[in-house]
Amino acid sequence: MEPIVASRAAVDNRLIDDVFPVLVSVAPMRYDDRTVDRMAELFERYFQRGQRYAVVSVTPKDAEGPDARQRKRIADWASSPRVRDKSRELCVGSATLVKDAIARGALTAILWVWKPANPHHVTTSVDDALDWCLAKLVAEKIEMPLGLETTRSRTLSIIRKHL
């Protein structure tokens, strides 16, 4: 299957599936209504695909975080019954790589009051994020067509390219 990608010039968010069942979600450099809508569209394709996966979420260096309006739109989307049901059914886990201490603290605070539909891990380490997701896939006996080591090395390359 062809990777589902939104060009940087257009909406600036990407969901890279070159190493499926690992998805690499790359945050936009700047959020607006279109980027949030596009994020929902990208994930909807995987919900319809119906295959289990894990997500490693990364934010490029110098990217702006979402403002209050966009955070609310993201939270509303993530909390919708369909997204929660599909995430629970298909996503074995997601790891969010957060290098910035303030952003990491904010995400941790959010996770105290909002429980994701699937296991979630917040970390500062690329290796930790990926290894956590790979362990979830292995524990769930999800086939990795490229094999564990090739999936790991290719995913690391993708992640590091977008930091």
pLDDT tens-digit map of 20-47: 999 999 989 888 888 888 989 999 999 9
- Structurally, the chain folds into a number of domains equal to 1
Confidence band, pLDDT 50/70/90 cuts, at residue 65: confident
CB 85 within 8 A of CB 110: no
Instruction: Say whether pLDDT at 68 is over 90.
Output: no
Instruction: Say whether pLDDT at 92 is over 80.
Output: yes
pLDDT at 70: 86
Domain CATH for 59: 3.30.750.24
Instruction: Say whether pLDDT at 54 is over 80.
Output: yes
Torsion, Cα of 162, 14, 154, 131 (10° steps): 90
Closest C-alpha among 90, 5, 68 to residue 39: 5
pLDDT at 18: 96
Domain extent for 31:
4-161
Question: CA-to-CA distance for 87 and 89, rounded, in angstroms?
Answer: 5
Q: Is 146 exposed, middle or buried (0-12, 13-18, 19+ CB in 10 A)?
A: middle
Instruction: Say whether pLDDT at 5 is over 90.
Output: no
CB 16 within 8 A of CB 26: yes
Helix (H, G, I), strand (E, B) or coil at 95: strand
pLDDT at 144: 97
Mean pLDDT, range 133-146, rounded to an integer: 98
